[in-house]
Amino acid sequence: MPEGGTCLLIGNSRWHWATRTASGWRFDHTNPEPARLDGIDLTRWAAVGAVPDHGALTGSKQLDLTHVPLQGMPPWLGVDRALAGWAAWRAAAPVPSGSGVIVADAGTVLSLTLVTADGGFAGGQLAAGLRLQLTAMAAGTRDLPPTDGLDPWPDHVFPQDTLAAMQQGCLHALLGVLLEAQRHCDWPLWICGGDSPPLVNALDQRGIAVVHAPDLVMQGMVGLLS
């Protein structure tokens, strides 16, 4: 593919880009930016979020589940989960028989996707992501504050500040999802997504091995082009 090729995944709250350069693929993640599509000839694009009306988003360039070589996928599976699961399985190959990989995508929703040793979809879990939990608490109560971000992350496990307490509660809720999943399935854990760093740090503090691959979904998309 020529230098300058561009791929896009339209997420629920963020847009994820892959741009081909002379030294390889460059990945970046932005707020929805329809204007950035002006003048771009997309190589491939996919969506799990709202798709704007733009001429660059042609049907012939759209990637869907039929393009992802993950076996046994149900028709309702998000293409982002399929791409991340396939990319992790491909990168981990050869996967020992009887094992597989667990892929956690920490985005708007925390998704868990299990992929077997032979590259088959084996189910998963879904939970509200960090920012979605924080937004829901602020919207559903009178006194809890809204937040536009998650930095700096609180150091204290039991903060006195309200926002820090909300952050720690949401983090530990998702950490519980991951720890419980690992209790039932001890396959290698891969984590991607914009909210993955605090989860990776918390798991590392507990001595739990994890493969942190922030751009796994987009690596899956560009991997289909090779």
Q: What is the mean pLDDT of each run of 10 residues along the chain (226 residues)?
A: 76 95 93 93 95 94 96 97 98 93 96 97 96 95 85 84 92 96 95 94 92 96 91
Q: What is the DSSP string of 175-225?
A: HHHHHHHHHH--SPEEEESTTHHHHHHHHHHTT---EE-TTHHHHHHHHTT
> pTM of the predicted model, to two decimals?
0.93
Domain coordinates of the chain in residue numbers? 6-61, 67-216
80: annotated active-site residue: yes
How many angstroms separate the CA atoms of 117 and 96, rounded? 6
Catalytic residue among 53, 80, 161, 204: 80
DSSP SS3 for 165: helix
- The answer to whether 221 touches 63, Cβ cutoff 8 Å, is yes
- What is the pLDDT, as a whole number, of residue 196? 94
For residue 119, the one-letter residue type is G
Burial class (CB in 10 A: 0-12, 13-18, 19+), 59: exposed
- What is the pLDDT, as a whole number, of residue 4? 57
Report the CATH number of the 67-216 domain: 3.30.420.40
